[in-house]
């Protein structure tokens, strides 16, 4: 009887730790993909939309198509410098990789090689 109670609690605790690790992994992958897309979009011969396309491609190869649906890119000003910002809104994984109503928003920035028109 005692083993069943303690075993059940330990199993629940272990699964919660695994889920937290998965959620952090998804967040880190999204941040890395957004940063990589921003670096590509900030090149002098590219535009921010090329960075958004690269971000979508990276997310699809690393996670799933569901995580690459809402990617946007554009010019941004950070501390007086022209940058390219790539923003990703994806479902927050709550049960496995399935999100339930909550979103996770991450962004990546890169210094633009040439001045960009501000929105």
| pLDDT one-digit tens code per residue, 53-97 | 999 999 999 998 989 999 999 999 888 889 999 999 999 887 776
User: Is 117 part of a structural domain of the chain?
Assistant: no
28: pLDDT strictly greater than 80: yes
3-state secondary structure (DSSP) of residue 42:
coil
Residue 109 phi, psi dihedral angles, 5° rounding: -125, 150
User: Is 118 part of a structural domain of the chain?
Assistant: no
- Residue 119 — pLDDT band, cuts 50, 70, 90? low
Inter-CA distances, 107 with 3, 34, 39, 44, 73, Å: 46, 6, 12, 21, 9
3-state secondary structure (DSSP) of residue 109:
strand
User: Is 9 part of a structural domain of the chain?
Assistant: yes
- Residue 48 — pLDDT band, cuts 50, 70, 90? very high
Segments forming the whole domain that contains residue 47: 2-111
Per-residue pLDDT, 99 = 66
User: Is 116 part of a structural domain of the chain?
Assistant: no
User: Is 84 part of a structural domain of the chain?
Assistant: yes
User: Is 119 part of a structural domain of the chain?
Assistant: no
Eight-class DSSP state of 97: T
- Residue 118 — pLDDT band, cuts 50, 70, 90? low
98: pLDDT strictly greater than 90: no
Sheet of 98-111, strand order: 70-78, 81-95, 98-111
Number of domains in the chain: 1
User: Is 41 part of a structural domain of the chain?
Assistant: yes
User: Is 98 part of a structural domain of the chain?
Assistant: yes
- Per DSSP (E only), the strands in 1-119 are 70-78, 81-95, 98-111
């Amino acid at each position: 009887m005692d083993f069943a109670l303690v075993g059940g609690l330990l199993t629940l605790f272990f699964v919660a730790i695994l889920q937290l690790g998965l959620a952090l992994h998804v967040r880190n992958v999204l941040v890395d993909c957004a940063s990589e897309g921003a670096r590509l979009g900030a090149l002098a011969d590219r535009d921010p939309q090329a960075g958004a396309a690269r971000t979508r491609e990276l997310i699809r190869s690393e996670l799933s198509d569901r995580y690459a649906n809402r990617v946007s890119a554009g010019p941004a000003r950070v501390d007086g410098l022209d940058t390219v910002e790539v923003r990703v809104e994806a479902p927050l994984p709550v049960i496995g990789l399935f999100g339930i109503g909550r979103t996770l928003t991450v962004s990546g920035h890169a210094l633009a090689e040439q001045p960009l028109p501000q929105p």
